[in-house]
Structure 1
């Protein structure tokens, strides 16, 4: 299973807001997890529209131009589409119930993770735990990573690092 939130849903009944830029995946989420809110859009630095490349294997879907070039060079099934893009606070303003704390934010936005986190309203939205992809993260030089520096500046501590995912908590 490649989904942290699916595992949490199955193992402990976790519910939340799921966001994906691939409508095929969002349709499956809506069917499998009807108590969740599932939104079809990309997450990025600003609200609007952006070009995405959608692959048959959804794990490679991306709005990041560098990854688009790299992935389309090695995969034949990429389809370019214009998709809506939203910021984290824009989505939470719309979908998070008033007074609801955010226990866990799982962010996997293929190359725009820092931009998405940097656009958050940290005074209003402070998840207790954040799992975020940090490709090329170096445990011997964590301060060389923009995501690390941003989250530490917001009071988070790095708690774990596995493969390309870093886990931070308040």
Structure 2
């Protein structure tokens, strides 16, 4: 009898650990949980460039960050909140990691999963930073965090960290030109 009990307990534990991306909250409504990211797309600058120059009816918020950058990590929740609150207003958030390529599996992916990051994350893996830093913005020193907000009519680059209110106010200048 005890063996059956332990088997059932083990089966329940394994099923609970193997849950996918949906759970229910106290109202019974399904809510998103961890995506359990296992890979991150790696781009060189030429591959990333089209993501920085789209000319459609969307607004793009592109944040350059790294897991080793404390101000970057501190502001990530603000970008996640922008993604959630402004998705219906055609706002897209892209997080461009400048982490070391050799640490993607050991640091970046576990970080994304632990923080439950829902925005798209890509890795910029291009050693020619003297070129791509100036190509992204001629005034950028390369310091992190840095953010690019753009649409087909306007483009603005920020070499600074944000609090939510300041980020939202900057975004609103693109929503209400």
TM-score bucket (shorter structure) = under 0.3
* TM-score, scaled to structure 2: 0.26
Larger proportion of strand = 1
